[in-house]
A and B are shown apart, each in its own frame.
Chain A
């Protein structure tokens, strides 16, 4: 199952080579042209069936949140920094994989017995270390270098329609584009896999400079909000309620024509959809829609619980709705 590979492959923001190689290998026989730009974004092109077609950009980011090793202590412990937005409360006691060799490590904090006053404080990244089993700096340096990246070490699993794994934000979007690129549509299609979304929407900003798109559809994994929480907070989007359509987030407002077109397309084809809470989060759509003279942009997402943590859930039926809706639009947009 390609989702297993996509979820487990190493690719923190700024170090996307392994996930990039995997995607290139997977799509290269299904596209008309393919390149890697100077920032490391993958840009594939597939000509449309219709001669006078529009150009549609499908974009997803291939990076994931992770860590970087900042320094190595005399006692062999590694100090680290986050790469992307990670809640410091989720990292203690989690397994990580470090660098090219995937050295196994554990994020450590002193035991509860010894915390005393610190028990009521949330430790900063500064006070946490990764233990790889080395007891001195010289030994640790054999396996790890300052500047090496790390990601959570999480196994992918599937139970019925529910999948469990890391990096569903945004490897689910990557999976969707890989699948969509296998067919040919009425419109010309650019399939782009961006780097560095999690550190400030940086890959898409550069990539779209060279993509002459009439429309852009960004495919994402977004936070599902249907877990227990206080009553006055909205509890949508929900896992299992269909593809999430973004009306607005902190980085953009959807183009209203494209939005209307999308909703009527979903209704016509009986594709299950729901809306995202407005003004929450940000995606590559934020950079793409304001590129050059502007691009009509919309964002679809699979709702996923606990994104940006070591482990998330998603529902394959929502993924299916996202792929179906996107495919229909690729034939329909004029």
Chain B
């Protein structure tokens, strides 16, 4: 079992755009090498499920999504590839960006940018859209036709970089940062007793349809579901975000209000810094799909603040990830399930 920073590095370096998440299965196995008492499986929808047997009969499932946003080839246009987005990149980050294209061959390329010298007056004020952009693999059309086709996936290159004060910068912290937080619970519960059966689910396809959480929650049918996703950290221009060192705890219609009260109590008691996130309607997270699975699932939502969301250079503080793991490990060992079931009145 690896330490948190290493878990985060392995997860974020693995490749898994929506619909192609199974590639990261090997990475998860590598992280959990040597860990006893667990099984790891890949279901037919591409969800990776880590199961840890507990010493209580109840089940808690943690849901994070494992897919990352990416690009997809729409056309081979002469010696270049045209593409569009899968899951919402801001076009403004793409110009001059290095990429990897996953076709018959895996090839590195560049998203081309016209040099200023060749631009007409005023051209640099024009916002470029997907249809204006292309990937240059420095290959001729004939070769491109041989190795690539429409639907091939493109991932932006982004190296795992350690910044000062426990900040790290890399791609796909949305939502592998949350995946690291839940897997790291295993490090925190080593010395804790009274642990229920735990399912750590790395869901497929959240960024597109949430099919992963819908299906995995149906099959696991947990007593309590915990969804962890990212949220906006404060940064210039994002005054409404939460502080990088706070955990976000969601409050709103997707969230069981009794469990919300309970987890905030633990956070206060343990002096774990948190901020309330108001999500009256669609939270835009897997909590939306999980809560109404089967006859309804008691669900809570935690969030990890990150900067530069949906860019290839997302930034997170590793200590904040660890706070989520700590809070959730206390939650699983202390929660009294009988308080949170169906209530038979008559």
- Smallest Cβ distance from B53 to chain A, in angstroms? 24
Identify which of residues 229-245 in chain B touch chain A, using a CB-to-CB cut-off of 8 Å: 240
B282 at the A interface (CB under 8 A): yes
- Tell me if A17 and B281 are in contact (CB < 8 A): no
CB-defined contacts of B346 to chain A, threshold 8 Å: 28, 31-35
Contact B295 A147 (CB under 8 A): no
Expressed in whole angstroms, the minimum distance between the Cβ of B18 and any Cβ of chain A is 22
Q: State whether B342 touches A36 (Cβ < 8 A).
A: yes
How long is the Cα–Cα vector from A68 to B278 in the complex, in angstroms? 7
B59 at the interface (CB under 8 A from A): no
Are B257 and A15 in contact, with the CB atoms below 8 A?
A: yes
- In the complex, the answer to whether A209 meets B345 with C-beta atoms within 8 Å is no
A66 to B340, CA, bound (A): 26
Within 8 A of A (CB), among B292-346: 292-298, 340-346
**B280 at the A interface (CB under 8 A):** yes
Which residues in B have their C-beta under 8 angstroms from that of A202?
253, 291-292
Contacts of B19 in A (CB 8 A): none
- Asked if A97 is an interface residue, CB under 8 A from chain B, the answer is no
Task: Kindly state the separation between the CA atoms of A205 and B288 in the bound complex, as whole angstroms.
Answer: 12
Taking the nearest CB of chain B, how far is it from the CB of A125, in angstroms?
11
CB closest chain-A residue, reference B294:
A209
Set of chain B residues within 8 Å of A200, measured between Cβ atoms:
281-282
Rounded to whole angstroms, the CA-CA distance of A196 and B294 in the bound complex is 16
What's the least CB distance linking A257 to chain B, in Å? 28
Q: Are B296 and A39 in contact (CB under 8 A)?
A: yes
Q: What 0/1 pattern do residues 197 to 235 of A give for CB contact below 8 A with B?
A: 001101101110110000000000000000000000000
Instruction: Tell me the bound Cα distance from A54 to B166 in angstroms.
Output: 64
Q: Mark A180-199, 1 if CB is under 8 A from B, else 0.
A: 00000000000000011001
A145:B276 contact, CB within 8 angstroms: yes
**B312: shortest Cβ distance to chain A, in Å?**
29
Q: How distant is A43 from chain B, measured CB to nearest CB, in Å? A: 9
| Size bin of chain B's contact surface | 20 to 34
**A331 at the binding interface (Cβ < 8 Å):** no
Q: Is B87 an interface residue (CB 8 A)?
A: no
| Nearest CB of B to A37, in Å | 5
Assess whether B345 is in contact with A36, with CB atoms less than 8 Å apart. Answer: yes
Give chain A nearest CB distance to B345 CB in angstroms.
4
In the bound complex, what is the Cα–Cα distance between A46 and B276 (angstroms)? Answer: 41
In the complex, A14 has a CB within 8 A of chain B:
yes
Q: Within 8 Å CB of A33, what residues of B? A: 344, 346
Residue contact B282 to A147, C-beta cutoff 8 Å: no
- Chain B residues positioned under 8 Å from A34 (CB to CB): 344-346
Complex CA–CA separation, A34 to B251 (angstroms):
28
**A1-44 interface mask toward B, CB cutoff 8 Å, 1 = contact, 0 = none?**
00000000000111101000000100010011111111101000
Nearest CB in chain B: distance from A262 CB, A = 29
How far, in angstroms, from A334 to B296 measured CA to CA in the complex? 30
Complex CA distance for A292 and B280, rounded to whole angstroms: 28
Measured in the bound complex, the distance between the Cα atoms of B293 and A228 in whole Å is 43
Q: Which of B282, B297, B341, B342 has the most CB of A within 10 A?
A: B342
Q: What is the distance, in angstroms, from B293's C-beta to the closest C-beta of chain A? A: 8
| In the complex, chain A residues whose CB is within 8 Å of the CB of B277 | 147
Residues from chain B with a CB closer than 8 A to the CB of A37 are 295-296, 342
B103 close to chain A: CB less than 8 A: no
Chain B minimum-CB-distance residue to A12: B280
Query: Among B251, B253, B293, B343, which residue has its beta carbon within 8 angstroms of that of A199?
Result: B253
A146 to B257 CA separation, bound complex (whole angstroms): 14
- Whether the Cβ atoms of A81 and B276 lie closer than 8 Å is no
Please determine whether B251 and A147 come into contact, CB atoms closer than 8 angstroms: yes
Q: Which residues of A contact B343 (CB under 8 A)?
A: 35-36
Whether the Cβ atoms of A206 and B295 lie closer than 8 Å is: yes
Bound complex: CA A203 to CA B282 (Å): 14
B292 engages A39 (CB within 8 Å): yes
Query: Of A35, A71, A196, A210, which one neighbours B345 at CB under 8 angstroms?
Result: A35
Kindly state whether residue B54 has any CB partner on chain A within 8 Å: no
Q: Is the CB of A205 within 8 A of B276?
A: no
Check if B112 is an interface residue, CB within 8 A of chain A: no
Chain B residue nearest to A67 (CB atoms) is B280
The answer for the CA separation of A30 and B343 in the assembled complex, in Å, is: 18
Assess A38 versus B257: contact at CB under 8 Å? Given A83-B281, A146-B276, A202-B291.
no
Going nearest first, the 4 A-B pairs with the smallest beta carbon separation are: A14-B253, A147-B251, A39-B296, A206-B296
Which B residues are within 8 Å of any A CB, using their own CB?
A: 240, 251-257, 275-282, 291-298, 340-346
What are 26 residue pairs bridging A and B, where the CB atoms are less than 8 Å apart in the complex?
A: A12-B280, A13-B253, A13-B281, A14-B254, A31-B346, A32-B346, A34-B346, A35-B342, A35-B343, A35-B345, A37-B295, A37-B296, A38-B298, A39-B291, A39-B296, A83-B253, A83-B281, A145-B276, A146-B276, A146-B278, A147-B251, A147-B276, A147-B277, A149-B280, A199-B253, A206-B295
